[in-house]
Amino acid sequence: MGITTVTSREFNQYAGEAKKAANSGPVFITDRGRPSHVLLSFEEYQRLTRSRRSIADALSLPGVEDVEFEPPKAEIKAAEADLS
């Protein structure tokens, strides 16, 4: 599933191509160089908006595989009890 990025101008000129690209992944539409809209196929939209989504579905969202996440190991130490 690839991500396509087009400018607003390109989207206006080539809407048909953008719709075809949305069948294989989201199409980011930029306005002045910043993402402003996302074009999805209806099937992908339905998949993302299902009311009950499993954690596996949430983790399979496009682009998630590119996120680096290495949390630090938790260091838990017991506090001394003051019994005075």
Read off the pTM.
Answer: 0.57
pLDDT at 74: 83
pLDDT digits (tens, 9 = 90+) for 13-35: 999 999 999 999 999 999 999 99
Q: Enumerate domains of the chain plus CATH numbers.
A: 4-65 (3.40.1620.10)
Q: Are 33 and 11 in contact (CB under 8 A)?
A: no
Confidence band for 48, pLDDT divided at 50, 70 and 90: confident
pLDDT at 72: 83
Confidence band for 63, pLDDT divided at 50, 70 and 90: low
